[in-house]
Amino acid sequence: MVYFIVIISELRICILNNNQEMEYDQRTLSTSIELEKVIPKKPFWKTLIFQMVLGLLLGLLVGHFFPLFATELSPLSAAFMKLIKAVVGLIIFCTIAVGIARIGSQASVGRIALKSILYFEIMTTLAMIVGLVIVNTVKPGEKMNIDPTKLDSSSLTNFSHTAESHTIVGWLMTIIPDTFVSAFTNGNILPILFIAILFGVAFLKMGHAAEPIVHLIEKLSEAIFIIVGMIMKLAPLAVFGAISYTIGKYGVESFIPLIKFLLLFYVCCSAFILIVLGSVSYLYQINIFKLIRYFKEELILAFSTASSEAALPNVMKKLEQYGCKKHVVGFVIPAGFSFNLDGSSMYFIMAIIFLAQACNINLTLIQEISLILIFMITSKGIAGVAGSGFVTLIATLSIFPYVPVAAVVLLLGIDRFMDSMRTFTNLIGNIVAVCIVDKSESKKAN
């Protein structure tokens, strides 16, 4: 389904070549178009997109025919992810601190934050409503007749312990780092965002006196993006390792009983991207097909590795090339990691309703609406938690007692495949968010 969207976007661009294109603003794509004129195109086999697709196909074959060998290939993707995570924190800090320093006023910072949070809450709520309506209409869990008391839930023990400690107060406290250095070492983006905003506002207050250090941070940011370019050459190997391991460990057969729910989720995400995000983008004169085409390498990387962080550095850089302002990119993308998870929001609501159907539990409309409200609380900040999918489900079900926690074990076999589409949808949702907030800021400036 993910590749279907990319292919559709390619066809859409071809159709529109002879028609009048919608303009994002005067800067949109100008940089990339100029680069294409100057830099000769590479042979297709040397492009990153071809190499990643090749890695994915080879991973499928190796995982299916050599499963034992394939399960030993996980270090390929793990090493790539460690390299990316090593620089992500610095990229976010540099981008936000410099962006705020250049923004001109503290009022602009508050306005962008308010717009972003409001947009995030509206879109994630829409995603949950779409998922709720579709899963209740199709009813993929009906006739499974699962008895949750007979399920072995021992594999959920570690996730349960993490879920118990995941509270609102605990989440708020994690935003404030113990030290400046720890903000960059605990694997959570929110403390980095917090520190970067403080530094950015401080630079803003200092005025011209802060110019030397702001300039230094800008140069540091340029160096980091060069390092990212070097790391990205390893992306095809990461894709190969991730897909090989997944297929080798779980096998295609492992999720055949749940294939209906899996396909339904992929269809829902695709519909949400093309219809909901597409409609919102259209209102702001943004072409969703062009966006998907422009970020296709990053989207396929995120889908294959099931990690938005793998694509984050390149996404931030290309959004600036696309015409978005640096400070908007620097704030919206990191904040979106915790607050704008469209794919995850849709999945968790659908998953809980699916489990209720599988266990022959009839939920009322009031209970389902309360589920949305509960999830809006339990999901915040979960992006930085290992095994976040099951942690979020268990944390939600511990407050929502109508569906037994033990039923979550049914989703163990397909969660990795679900995670790929969740990540893909989350990422395109955040890309659209940046473009919309930036477009609204451009109108404000005019």
pLDDT value for 4:
40
Query: 311 pLDDT exceeds 70?
Result: yes
Q: Which residues of 181-205 are buried (b: 16+ CB within 10 A; e: fewer)?
A: eebbebebbbbbbbbbbebbbebbe
Nearest to 307 by CA among 411, 232, 419: 419
Q: Please give the average per-residue pLDDT across 100-118, as a whole number.
A: 75
CA-CA distance, 355 to 183, in Å (whole number)? 37
Whether the Cβ atoms of residue 146 and residue 359 lie closer than 8 Å to each other: yes
CA angle 73, 241, 424 (to 5 degrees): 145
What CATH topology corresponds to 66-443? Proton glutamate symport protein (1.10.3860)
Instruction: Please give the span between the terminal C-alpha atoms of the chain, in angstroms, as a whole number.
Output: 40
CA-CA distance, 14 to 9, in Å (whole number)? 9
Query: 157 pLDDT exceeds 60?
Result: no
Give the DSSP letter string of 153-178: -GGGHHHHHHHHT--HHHHHHHHS-S
Whether the Cβ atoms of residue 356 and residue 131 lie closer than 8 Å to each other: no
pLDDT value for 291:
92
Nearest to 195 by CA among 295, 347, 90: 90
CA-CA distance, 426 to 348, in Å (whole number)? 13
pLDDT value for 26:
39
CA-CA distance, 311 to 235, in Å (whole number)? 10
- Strands (E) across 349-418 are located at none
Name which of 1-5, 84-88, 328-332, 399-403 the model is least confident about. 1-5
pLDDT digits (tens, 9 = 90+) for 210-250: 888 988 988 888 888 788 888 888 888 888 887 788 778 76
Q: What is the pTM of this model?
A: 0.68
pLDDT value for 412:
67
Whether the Cβ atoms of residue 331 and residue 116 lie closer than 8 Å to each other: yes
Query: 12 pLDDT exceeds 50?
Result: no
pLDDT digits (tens, 9 = 90+) for 243-279: 788 778 766 655 555 778 889 999 999 999 999 999 9
